């Protein structure tokens, strides 16, 4: 009887404790601790197979390069050692001093060439005796009126000595005297002007004086 009472009492205590544990949450915590361990043990998947890693390409064999062998060097030749001692039969030369070089003369400065002299010019002339030029004619009216003065006429003389044209350079102040001077110089003959001895056309001034005696 005591044994049965003890067993019954133990069962009752166990159930009481179980109910108390359900109320206080101890049994739930125990279940959460036990159940996840089993679930994790069931859902662990096997490891995935390893992916095939591509193998690196094998490099193609390189052709062997011909190895150039260095050309054989010639054997060193024996070098001659100079002997400073003179030969017993060698001729002995005598050094003669060279004569001094002649002194270099300083360059002489040459004077610049003088410019050519200008050609000689000879003006025409009307005074030669062989020309036989008459005296200027005095206008009669100018004599009665007492007109007198000096006229300078510019005359162009050709290479043949003949007058080509004339003009009054300086007037006497009287037209009759000026016109008489122009008529006179155009009737005369002249010695032509010359340049370097060669006759050429040239102009010159001819003075004519009208003076009452």
CATH code of the domain containing 170: 3.30.2420.10
Say how far apart CA 21 and CA 11 lie, in whole Å: 15
Mean of pLDDT over the chain: 76
Q: Is the pLDDT of residue 141 over 90?
A: yes
Domain count, the chain: 2
φ/ψ of 146, rounded to 5, equals 75, 30
Query: Residue 17: inside a domain, yes or no?
Result: yes
Question: Does any domain span residue 76?
Answer: no
**Is the model more confident about 13 or about 111?**
13
Exposed, middle or buried, 41 (CB in 10 Å: 0-12/13-18/19+)?
A: exposed
Of 8 and 52, which is predicted with more confidence? 8
Specify if 107 maps to a domain: no
Torsion (CA) 27, 28, 29, 35 in degrees, nearest 10? 110
CA 99 to each of CA 65, 96, 107, 159: distance values in angstroms, whole numbers, following the listed order: 72, 9, 24, 72
Q: Which has the closest alpha carbon to 135: 32, 205, 211?
A: 211
pLDDT in tens, 148-190: 999 999 999 999 999 999 999 999 999 999 999 999 999 999 9
Q: Is the pTM higher than 0.85?
A: no
* 132 inside domain: yes
Please list the alpha-helical segments (H only) found in the chain.
Answer: 2-24, 26-43, 140-145, 175-187
Q: Give the integer Cα–Cα distance in Å for 184 and 138.
A: 10
Q: Residue 9: pLDDT band by 50, 70, 90 thresholds? A: confident
Q: Is 115 part of a structural domain of the chain?
A: no
The segment with the largest mean pLDDT, out of 15-19, 44-48, 55-59, 142-146, is: 142-146
179 is a domain residue: yes
Residue 105 placed within a domain: no
> Where in the sequence is the domain holding 193, given as residue range(s)?
121-210
Please report which confidence band the pLDDT of residue 18 belongs to, taking 50, 70 and 90 as the band edges.
Answer: confident
**Would you say residue 70 lies in a domain?**
no
């Amino acid at each position: 009887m005591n044994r049965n009472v003890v067993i019954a009492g133990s069962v009752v205590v166990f159930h009481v404790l179980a109910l108390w544990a359900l109320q206080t949450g101890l049994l739930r915590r125990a279940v959460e601790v036990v159940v996840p361990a089993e679930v994790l043990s069931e859902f662990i998947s096997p490891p995935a197979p390893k992916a095939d890693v591509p193998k690196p390409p094998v490099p193609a064999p390189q052709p062997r390069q011909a190895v150039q062998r260095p050309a054989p060097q010639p054997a060193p030749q024996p070098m001659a050692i100079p002997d400073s001692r003179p030969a017993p039969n060698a001729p002995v030369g005598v050094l003669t001093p060279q004569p001094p070089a002649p002194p270099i003369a300083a360059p002489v400065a040459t004077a610049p060439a003088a410019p050519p002299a200008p050609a000689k010019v000879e003006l025409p002339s009307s005074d030669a005796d062989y020309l036989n030029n008459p005296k200027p004619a005095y206008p009669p009216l100018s004599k009665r009126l007492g007109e007198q003065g000096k006229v300078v006429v510019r005359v162009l003389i050709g290479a043949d000595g003949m007058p080509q044209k004339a003009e009054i350079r300086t007037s006497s102040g009287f037209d009759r005297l000026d016109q008489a001077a122009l008529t006179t110089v155009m009737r005369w003959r002249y010695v032509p002007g010359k340049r370097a001895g060669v006759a050429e056309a040239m102009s010159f001034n001819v003075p004519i004086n009208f003076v009452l005696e």
